[in-house]
Each structure stands twice: as structure tokens, then as C-alpha cells.
């Protein structure tokens, strides 16, 4: 049976691995007590895990194969910002001759601190991965999506307002949000659903990377599994934007009331984030 593929980028940790676990639980081929837990989730019989760290992907694949014995889990190590990486991934999907039923674009990173203090290559890398690679993935994989397919683009609560001390990251996620809602309107005519996930702080390695090691854990981090599950449930109800917690929705509302200038000034003055100086 030519069921289909679910593909998750950034699958080696955090939200990416959480999405992968939840998708495996709900896989059509997996059977068992988990099947159908999330209403409206497309059926698939292969789960592709994409990230740079092959060892982590292999460990996750072994875990998921035990969770859903009938599911084919494939590991695809890739640096999505390297030349030709997305095109090569799309070529592999073409060779599989199966529809792409679920696409989760989670790969991304941020950098704490004033724009002028962080290495410029680090800042530009955020744009390359958070924006360009995500856009290329949607563009190159679009031909394999069909009616009923689901695309999840991971944006952020930071997408709703400029942030001092987090300027490039917030700008990239504003792009992801705008782009996602735009293609959601375009692709709805063909039955393809697109949802932008806009979470606040989630327990992951994000803060460790963003701070250059100065902050190990995200402050007040929420469960990545709950975040991913709530997003998929919202998508099943037809949502184009998912902000999965009440406190996050309140912060979105407050940021809207404050406006972009006040939001940027407030975060720059009162919400400074640590960053270890480059050696």
C-alpha cells in the first residue's frame, strides 16, 4: 500500500524529536493503542528524520522503531544550509514514489544578545536556516504534497513583535509566520493544510545554543511533547496559527497592544538574555 511519508527536520532534539515521537505513536502502520489519537492526522507508513547529528537520529530511530514496529523509520543526516542539501533530500523523496503526507519544518536556531555583539556569520546563518532553508523545503517538496497533507512550520511567539537583544531571530520567525499563513491560503485550494506553530519558551537545547553556553536551560520551558501534540490537534481542527498555551496567547495579545516600538524597547531594557563572549 502506497501510504506516504512523514518528514521532520531538526529531529535530533527538542520540538523536532517530540514531533517525531508523536507522529510515530499515531502512524497508520504502527497500529496499537496510539492509532488515531490525533484527529485529522494524515496516514503514512514511513517517518524520515532529518538533522545534522547522525548519532542522535540513529538513537531516535531505534526508539521509534520499537514504539511503532510496523513503521519504517529512515535517517537522513543533512545540513540544510549547505549547497544542494535540500535539493538532494527532495530527490530522495521523488525516488521513494510516495506522497509526502506530513512535513514538519522545525530546524532552526537563535542567538541571544545585541546584534552588533554577535558574530555576523552567526546572525546570517539564522536567516539561512530559519528562512531560506524552510522556504526551499516548502518549494522543493511541494510537488509531493497532496490533498490532505499537512505542513507544520515552526515559528515562535517572537514572531509577533520585534525583540531587542533577539533582533534577528524574532525577524526570521516573523518571516516564517507571514510566509506560512500566506501559503496556507494558497494551498488550501488544493487541500493542503499549513499551520505555523508559535510557541513561547520550550524545554530544549535552544537556550544553550542561543547563549553560546552561558545558559543551559530555557527559563520556564514548557514540555516539547505537549507543545507538539497541541499543535497537531490544532491543525486537525483547521488552525493556520497555533499558540498552544493560554499564557502565550496573553503575551501575544499584550505585545500587540504595546506595538513594535515599545515591545523592542521593553525587551531590550528588561529582558536581557545572557551570551558567552566569543573566544
Determine, yes or no, domain membership for 174: yes
Q: What's the pTM value of the predicted model, to 2 decimals?
A: 0.92
Determine, yes or no, domain membership for 275: no
The answer to whether the beta carbons of residues 17 and 112 sit under 8 Å apart is: no
Determine, yes or no, domain membership for 248: yes
pLDDT computed for residue 203 by the predictor: 87
* Distance, CA of 147 to CA of 89 (rounded, Å): 21
Helix (H) or strand (E) holding 151: strand 145-154
pLDDT computed for residue 36 by the predictor: 44
Determine, yes or no, domain membership for 59: yes
Determine, yes or no, domain membership for 262: yes
> Cell 504595546 identifies what position?
258
Task: Return the C-alpha cell found at 185.
Answer: 491560503
Domain containing residue 101: 5-270
Averaged pLDDT, groups of 10, the chain, 279 residues long: 89 96 82 60 96 96 88 97 98 98 96 91 97 98 97 97 94 98 97 97 73 62 94 97 96 89 85 66
* Distance, CA of 68 to CA of 33 (rounded, Å): 10
Q: Give 199-221 pLDDT, tens digit per residue.
A: 999 987 666 665 565 556 676 78
Task: Return the C-alpha cell found at 103.
Answer: 512535513
pLDDT computed for residue 20 by the predictor: 97
Determine, yes or no, domain membership for 169: yes
Determine, yes or no, domain membership for 276: no
The answer to whether the beta carbons of residues 193 and 149 sit under 8 Å apart is: yes
* Distance, CA of 134 to CA of 218 (rounded, Å): 24
Determine, yes or no, domain membership for 108: yes
* CATH number of 206's domain: 3.40.50.720
End-to-end CA distance of the chain: 54
If one counts the domains in the chain, the total is 1
Q: Give 9-43 pLDDT, tens digit per residue.
A: 999 999 999 999 999 999 865 444 444 479 899 99
Task: Return the C-alpha cell found at 229.
Answer: 501534540
Residue 150 dihedral angles phi and psi, to the nearest 5°: -125, 130
Amino acid at each position: 500500500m502506497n501510504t506516504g511519508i512523514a518528514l521532520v527536520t531538526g529531529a535530533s532534539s527538542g520540538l523536532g524529536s517530540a514531533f517525531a515521537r508523536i507522529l510515530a505513536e499515531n502512524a497508520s502502520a504502527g497500529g496499537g493503542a496510539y492509532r488515531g489519537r490525533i484527529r485529522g492526522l494524515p496516514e503514512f507508513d514511513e517517518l524520515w528524520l532529518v538533522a545534522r547529528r547522525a548519532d542522535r537520529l540513529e538513537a531516535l530511530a531505534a526508539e521509534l522503531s520499537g514504539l511503532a514496529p510496523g513503521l519504517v523509520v529512515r535517517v537522513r543526516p543533512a545540513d540544510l544550509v549547505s549547497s544542494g542539501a535540500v535539493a538532494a533530500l527532495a530527490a530522495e523523496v521523488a525516488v521513494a514514489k510516495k506522497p509526502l503526507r506530513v512535513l514538519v519544518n522545525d530546524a532552526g536556531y537563535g542567538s541571544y544578545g545585541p546584534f552588533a555583539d554577535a558574530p555576523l556569520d552567526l546572525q546570517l546563518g539564522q536567516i539561512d536556516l530559519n528562512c531560506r532553508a524552510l522556504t526551499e523545503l516548502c518549494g522543493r517538496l511541494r510537488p509531493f504534497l497532496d490533498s490532505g497533507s499537512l505542513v507544520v512550520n515552526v515559528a515562535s511567539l517572537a514572531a509577533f513583535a520585534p525583540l531587542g537583544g533577539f533582533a534577528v531571530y524574532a525577524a526570521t520567525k516573523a518571516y516564517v509566520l507571514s510566509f506560512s499563513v500566506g501559503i496556507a491560503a494558497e494551498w488550501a485550494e488544493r487541500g493542503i493544510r499549513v499551520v505555523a506553530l508559535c510557541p513561547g519558551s520550550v524545554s530544549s537545547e535552544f537556550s544553550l545554543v542561543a547563549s553560546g553556553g552561558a545558559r543551559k536551560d530555557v527559563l520556564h520551558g514548557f514540555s516539547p511533547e505537549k507543545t507538539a501534540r497541541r499543535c497537531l490537534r490544532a491543525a486537525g481542527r483547521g488552525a493556520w496559527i497555533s499558540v498552544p498555551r493560554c499564557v502565550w496567547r496573553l503575551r501575544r495579545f499584550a505585545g500587540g497592544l504595546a506595538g513594535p516600538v515599545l515591545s523592542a524597547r521593553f525587551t531590550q531594557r528588561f529582558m536581557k538574555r545572557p551570551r558567552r563572549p566569543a573566544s
